[in-house]
Chains A and B, each alone.
Chain A
């Protein structure tokens, strides 16, 4: 099995682009949150992949990946609770209904 850094980076870039696309195109707030998760996971995948091929330190990348997972968990908690509140208030989870910032 030929392992190369390029394959990992390709996957992570694809994940990142999917995430950004989802974030920009979906109007559903939960779907946007999921897209955000994709972006975060592409970043963790990058860390782990670089760690695997790094010759100096075998622990730093994994540590960062763990941090990112914890951060993602916290972010999801807050994000979901905000969406929940928004839903209670507006009876909708469509991002277009959250337009109070219009100048």
Chain B
């Protein structure tokens, strides 16, 4: 298996090499920066696809570990009362079907995004920094996916967080971008605190963090059900932060301030899916307690509904897609909570392709028409861009679950998993898919039915070089094809290859579920058609209509306001109280008193220092006499 190891190292280190190379790139070679990024991303993608196909023949949940001992601590070296006789940490790669699928998705999309970025960032003066950060993200993400234990995952988990922060704030001179980057970073740190505590407790009780050791029964036995639930919930907190689950979801829509290809790669397809991936990766950990799974189900349901509702009132094309991502992530987490990692991962895979496709088309529109607003794009003649329009339509159809496209199959499997778990959550899933179809077609119809006017930007004529246009077209077409094809792998026509690969059962379409979603989707389409047949009227309606429901939607259900209240009122007054205690109690009572006592003692002693030689002499003689008397007394 030496070739495996070689491929693994290539996947892991190629993006890092690109990152380092881009940082030492001489000034004269700055134009080559995108090429460097692209070439190394291609190497990683090629290696991971080779690896995937070299294992494609194997069935039955193979697991290979390439790891080396990192740290071993025995009972002797620890404080008394530890639970386990030995604590072992290792470092290395884990190779199993789940990893191979995820790494192939990550590196492929990363390559296409690098390529598209060449087009999108063609005029940006700090391109080398952009491509360096993008490569750094790929490095961190591959590390996260390939890690063989939870601590290693956590390290790379933080690195992808850092990359996300750097790329959201790439245009840091824009205050909105800087604020959004900070918001994402702070919210993620907050959630990761829980994740970290979970890791600490888990290590304390189990003595190992290897994913292969996470079997529900063994964990329950080692920790007891109370601790198993606590650890599961704490680790799930990290998932909630990274995968933007309610109430941590507020950072993701703001993260759209970053460059659009970044949103395509990080904030829709890979990094935000890392939480879902982690749930599948360490599923035993969550399955060890009913509480963690229920929490996932509830958090996912809240997120899915919130995201889908908010997506229906946005004007900004990226924000529509961002809220859609939030809601789809909610669905995946729900599937995990329903106990079906296969359904969750299948939806993750299809979603990764069609959502990155959607973001890249959004990027194509934004780059061409210099606006994020769908009405403005439409008026500027958005529908004349045939390629982007076709890709957008394909992505949106897939997102709303229209049959021949991938989204339909994965959503169907997901709903099936939910219906097996509970009727209530199944209906939430159905409602979300109804809303999904509605906001998807809202976006499509607004672009399609608006009459192009004389928008100020329409005259902006791009005459890109052939290479630039290729960098724009190739990723769109390839991702469109991939999102067409990958769905078939999860159906009986594709031999359920993807489901078998992940250890699931044969695909079979449940006619009731498929029928329900199809009927609801068509209703949503018809509804969207009648509401947005006349986009100009819909725009005025959006601007003018009032009502408390509308206000709630516009305030994003007051989650941001709740955070602001928490920080400004509760947090700041708590800080003020602490400040008072520090000043009055600690400073005045302890610090000032101590220093005062020392100072007084010093003043007392300094009186002895009269500066007169004879005073010192008398003291010396006096002390000498006293000592002499003691000595004489001691020797009778």
Q: Is A102 located at the chain interface by the 8 A CB criterion?
A: yes
Q: Which of A19-34 contact B (CB under 8 A)?
A: 20, 23-24, 27
Name B198-246 residues within 8 Å CB distance of A. Answer: none
Q: List A residues 47-103 near B (Cβ within 8 Å).
A: 95-96, 98-103
Q: B611 touching A103 by the CB < 8 A rule?
A: yes
Residues of A within 8 A of B463 (CB): none
Whether the pair B611, A102 counts as a contact (CB closer than 8 A) is yes
Residue of B nearest to A27 (CB): B614
Chain B min CB distance to A7 (Å): 23
Q: CB-CB < 8 A to B609: which residues of A?
A: 101-103
Contact A95 B614 (CB under 8 A): yes
Question: How long is the Cα–Cα vector from A100 to B609 in the complex, in angstroms?
Answer: 10
Task: Give chain A residues whose Cβ lies under 8 Å from the Cβ of B613.
Answer: 95, 98
Interface residues of B in 485-506 (CB under 8 A from A): none
In the complex, chain A residues whose CB is within 8 Å of the CB of B618: 24
Q: Decide: A102 and B610 in contact? CB cutoff 8 A.
A: yes
Distance in angstroms from A27 CB to nearest chain B CB is 8
Answer yes or no: B606 CB below 8 A from chain A CBs: yes
Contact status A23-B608, CB under 8 Å: no
Shortest CB-to-CB span from A74 to chain B, Å, is 20
Q: Taking the nearest CB of chain B, how far is it from the CB of A79, in angstroms?
A: 12
Q: Is the CB of B608 within 8 A of A103?
A: yes
Give how many A residues have a beta carbon under 8 Å from the other chain's beta carbons.
Answer: 12
Q: Are A24 and B621 in contact (CB under 8 A)?
A: yes
Q: Taking CB as reference atom, which chain B residue is nearest A100?
A: B611
* Bound CA span A98–B611, Å: 8
- A9 CA to B613 CA in the complex, in Å? 29
Which parts of B587-624 form the interface with A (CB within 8 Å)?
606-614, 617-618, 621
Task: Say yes or no: B611 contacts A24, CB within 8 Å.
Answer: no
- Cα distance A24–B618 in the bound complex, in angstroms: 7
Neighbouring A residues of B621 by C-beta, 8 Å: 20, 24
Chain B residues near A96 (CB-CB < 8 A): 612
CB A40 to nearest CB in B, in angstroms, measures: 15
Chain A residue at minimum C-beta to C-beta distance from B616: A101
Q: Which residues of B contact A98 (CB under 8 A)?
A: 613
Cross-chain contact A103 with B612 (CB below 8 angstroms): no
The minimal Cβ–Cβ distance linking A76 to chain B, given in whole angstroms, is 17
Which residues, 466 to 492 on B, are CB-close (under 8 Å) to A? none
Interchain CA distance A95-B610 in the complex, whole Å: 13
Contact between chains at A99 and B612 (CB < 8 Å): yes
Distance between Cα atoms of A102 and B617 in the complex (Å): 14
Contacts of A101 in B (CB 8 A): 609, 611
Q: What are some 25 contacts across the A-B interface (CB < 8 A)?
A: A20-B621, A24-B614, A24-B617, A24-B618, A24-B621, A27-B614, A95-B612, A95-B613, A95-B614, A96-B612, A98-B613, A99-B610, A99-B611, A99-B612, A100-B611, A101-B609, A101-B611, A102-B609, A102-B610, A102-B611, A102-B612, A103-B607, A103-B608, A103-B609, A103-B610
Which residues of B are at the interface with A, using a C-beta cutoff of 8 A? 606-614, 617-618, 621
CB-CB nearest 7 A-B residue pairs: A103-B609, A102-B611, A99-B611, A103-B606, A101-B611, A95-B613, A24-B618
